[in-house]
């Protein structure tokens, strides 16, 4: 396992240039309230390069490939309270770094490591206080200029090269992400079946009952935590995109939207399913659901090497807008042709988010959505709804190994001119897609999406 992280460090070191040095801190521990802490979660950049999940640690990497870890020292008393520490003595063998030191020696040792380097790289604007500490270390180097010491004359953002590396997943990462998706799919299945069973039994069903089923399945299969706050939204609550209350009753005849995924070994999954609480879609529910599903299939077909990141979204919008016109949610007399309705963004009243995002160590993973070689190509347009000036750049070209979500939706709130049978229906269908040589692989289809399959599962 250390070999994977050593290979990543070597790839990054080659981009630092002669005289380059990179500083990568992990995340701080955070308090939930008073003296009670949140479950610790490492910094993703740090873990990507080290595989080390303990708090209070730094990785230093130089352009010639040297790696130095600063970590918590062994401490018998603290380990009684907080758990076993790896310690700097064991770190080189366990993690494959060249050397390791106690983290309380960081301020003492960093100036010497920075001395005679030309460029210092670190992740800009991600760690509170990092810039201030770096200033202090550089001042100590500059205090030695009369003795021949040189301080780095340039500072560069490390996020750029690391984001590009993390954007294309290696085989090790994809294996973890497939396992995370399987666990999450199983959790969705469990919640769906639980909901139908409780409704049929006449029990009081609350959103938090299904949230509990999700968490049970995550932990039962080795996930360390949810990848993000799970959304369990019944009825009209499904029209709130980031619904958090998680306490409303789930009523017979309503749809339930669950957006939930686990984190496994540092990698996120992200799945959304919408299903009838009683296991049977009504006519209007089915009509809107099958429209969203058709739009997702169009987006899936558009997800392939050489396509643009925006292509799946454009495919989704075309199908959704045509369906909204056909179902009478958009007025043909007012909006005209399909192309006119898309140009006017008429669909935005019902579909106001993009169709996907990068997925990886973070649920909204890093990586530019603009093609780097075309960043200078800018076009301007006016938003037809807000009249805001929009500057567009060519979006990222998809390559094998990239992982993104595909998540179209429709959210119908009560409104004049909207058929009442569609009021308070919120639907989103989300899958995790790995771009492959021939298209994309959906790694989250362990939970069904077709209407007939959902109804069969919930019988």
Rounded to whole angstroms, what are the CA distances from 1 to 60, 70, 236, 283, 328?
Answer: 20, 20, 47, 52, 56
Q: Are strands 119-122 and 58-62 parallel, antiparallel or unpaired?
A: unpaired
Q: Annotated catalytic, 335?
A: no
**Residue 457: which H helix or E strand, with range?**
helix 451-457
SS3 131: helix
Q: Annotated catalytic, 364?
A: yes
Q: Annotated catalytic, 221?
A: no
Q: Annotated catalytic, 353?
A: yes
Q: Tens digits of per-residue pLDDT, 220-245?
A: 999 999 999 999 999 999 999 999 99
**Cβ atoms 222, 203 nearer than 8 A:** no
Q: State the catalytic residue, choosing from 142, 364, 382, 445.
A: 364
**Cβ atoms 422, 410 nearer than 8 A:** no
Q: State the catalytic residue, choosing from 43, 407, 432, 455.
A: 407
| pLDDT exceeds cutoff 70 at 372 | yes
What is the phi-psi region of residue 44: left when phi exceeds 0, alpha when psi lies from -120 to 50, beta otherwise?
alpha
Average pLDDT over residues 30-36: 94
Q: Tens digits of per-residue pLDDT, 42-76?
A: 999 999 999 999 999 999 999 999 999 999 999 99
Q: State the catalytic residue, choosing from 207, 213, 259, 311.
A: 259
Q: Tens digits of per-residue pLDDT, 286-326?
A: 999 999 999 999 999 999 999 999 999 999 999 999 999 99
Sign of the torsion angle spanned by Cα atoms 192, 324, 364, 39: negative
Spatial CA neighbour of 82 closest among 74, 93, 70: 74
Q: Annotated catalytic, 204?
A: no
Q: Annotated catalytic, 164?
A: no
Alpha carbon dihedral 181, 187, 189, 193, in 10-degree steps, equals: 180
Q: State the catalytic residue, choosing from 54, 173, 207, 430.
A: 430
Q: Tens digits of per-residue pLDDT, 182-232?
A: 999 999 999 999 999 999 999 999 999 999 999 999 999 999 999 999 999
Average pLDDT over residues 397-425: 97
SS3 341: helix
- Give me the half-sphere count of Cα atoms (radius 13 Å) on the Cβ side of residue 361: 22
Place of tokens 């299945």: 189
Average pLDDT over residues 95-110: 98
Q: State the catalytic residue, choosing from 8, 179, 188, 357.
A: 357
Q: State the catalytic residue, choosing from 133, 172, 353, 413.
A: 353
Q: State the catalytic residue, choosing from 35, 204, 416, 452.
A: 35
In which band, very low, low, confident or very high, does the pLDDT at 385 lie, cut at 50, 70 and 90? confident
Spatial CA neighbour of 27 closest among 370, 361, 329: 361
Q: What are phi and psi of 305, to 5 degrees?
A: -60, 140
The full DSSP string for 390-419 is EEE-PBPBP-TTBEEEE--EEEE---TTS-
For residues 20 and 131, give the distance between their C-alpha atoms in angstroms, rounded to a whole number: 17
**Cβ atoms 268, 361 nearer than 8 A:** yes
Q: What secondary structure letter does DSSP report for 48? A: H
Strand positions, DSSP E, 117-249:
119-122, 154-157, 225-226, 231-234
Average pLDDT over residues 437-450: 98
pLDDT at 25: 98
Better-predicted residue by pLDDT, 1 or 288: 288
| pLDDT exceeds cutoff 70 at 339 | yes
pLDDT at 1: 61
Q: State the catalytic residue, choosing from 270, 362, 365, 455.
A: 270
Q: Annotated catalytic, 270?
A: yes
**Cβ atoms 26, 57 nearer than 8 A:** yes
For residues 239 and 288, give the distance between their C-alpha atoms in angstroms, rounded to a whole number: 13
Better-predicted residue by pLDDT, 102 or 375: 102
Place of tokens 């009670």: 36
SS3 112: helix
Rg (CA), the chain: 25
For residues 81 and 103, give the distance between their C-alpha atoms in angstroms, rounded to a whole number: 19
Q: Annotated catalytic, 209?
A: no
Rounded to whole angstroms, what are the CA distances from 117 to 73, 106, 141?
Answer: 28, 17, 10
Average pLDDT over residues 271-278: 99
pLDDT at 2: 74
pLDDT at 157: 98
Strand positions, DSSP E, 148-198:
154-157
Average pLDDT over residues 246-262: 98
Domains recognised in the chain with CATH numbers = 2-164 (3.40.350.10), 168-457 (3.90.230.10)
Residue 131 corresponds to which tokens in the numbers above?
């810039």
Q: Annotated catalytic, 430?
A: yes
Q: CB atoms < 10 A from the CB of 197, how many?
A: 13
Q: Annotated catalytic, 213?
A: no
Q: Annotated catalytic, 407?
A: yes
In which band, very low, low, confident or very high, does the pLDDT at 384 lie, cut at 50, 70 and 90? confident
Q: State the catalytic residue, choosing from 42, 127, 182, 428.
A: 428
Q: State the catalytic residue, choosing from 47, 350, 411, 431.
A: 411
């Amino acid at each position: 396992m250390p070999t994977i992280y050593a290979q990543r460090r070597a790839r990054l070191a080659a981009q630092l240039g002669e005289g380059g040095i990179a500083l990568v801190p992990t995340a701080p521990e955070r308090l939930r309230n008073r003296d009670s802490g949140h479950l610790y979660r490492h910094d993703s950049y740090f873990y990507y390069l080290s595989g080390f999940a303990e708090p209070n640690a730094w990785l230093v990497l130089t352009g010639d490939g040297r790696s130095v870890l600063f970590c918590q020292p062994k401490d018998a008393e603290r380990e009684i309270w907080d758990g076993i520490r790896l310690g700097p003595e064991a770190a080189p063998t366990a993690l494959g770094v060249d050397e390791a030191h106690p983290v309380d020696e960081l301020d003492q040792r960093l100036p010497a490591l920075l001395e005679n380097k030309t460029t210092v790289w670190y992740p800009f604007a991600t760690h509170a206080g990092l810039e201030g500490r770096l200033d202090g270390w550089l001042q100590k180097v500059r205090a030695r200029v009369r003795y021949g010491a040189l301080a780095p004359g340039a500072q560069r953002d490390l996020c750029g090269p690391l984001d590009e590396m993390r954007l294309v997943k290696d085989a090790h990462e994809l294996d973890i992400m497939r396992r995370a998706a399987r666990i999450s799919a199983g959790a969705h299945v469990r919640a769906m079946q639980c909901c139908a069973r409780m409704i049929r039994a006449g029990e009081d069903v609350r959103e938090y009952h299904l949230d509990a089923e999700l968490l049970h399945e995550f932990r039962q299969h080795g996930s360390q935590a949810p990848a993000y706050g799970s959304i369990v939204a019944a009825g009209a609550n499904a029209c709130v995109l980031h619904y958090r209350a998680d306490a409303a009753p789930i009523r017979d005849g309503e749809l339930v939207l669950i957006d939930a995924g686990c984190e496994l070994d540092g990698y996120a999954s992200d799945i959304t399913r919408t299903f009838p609480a009683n296991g049977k879609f009504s006519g209007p529910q089915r009509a809107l659901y099958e429209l969203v599903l058709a739009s997702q299939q169009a987006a899936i077909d558009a997800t392939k090497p050489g396509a643009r990141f925006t292509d799946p979204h454009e495919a989704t919008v075309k199908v959704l807008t045509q369906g909204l016109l056909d179902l009478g949610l958009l007025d043909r007399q007012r909006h005209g042709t399909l192309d006119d309705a898309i140009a006017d963004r008429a669909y935005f009243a019902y579909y106001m988010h993009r169709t996907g995002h990068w997925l990886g160590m973070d649920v909204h993973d890093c990586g530019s959505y603009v093609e780097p070689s075309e960043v200078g190509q800018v076009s301007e347009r006016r938003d037809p709804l807000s009249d805001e000036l929009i500057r567009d750049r060519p979006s990222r070209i998809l390559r094998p190994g990239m992982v993104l979500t595909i998540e179209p939706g429709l959210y119908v709130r009560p409104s004049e001119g909207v058929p009442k049978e569609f009021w308070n229906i919120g639907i989103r269908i989300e899958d995790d897609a790995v771009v492959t040589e021939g298209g994309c692989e959906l790694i989250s289809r362990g939970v069904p999406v077709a209407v007939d399959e959902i109804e069969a599962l919930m019988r």
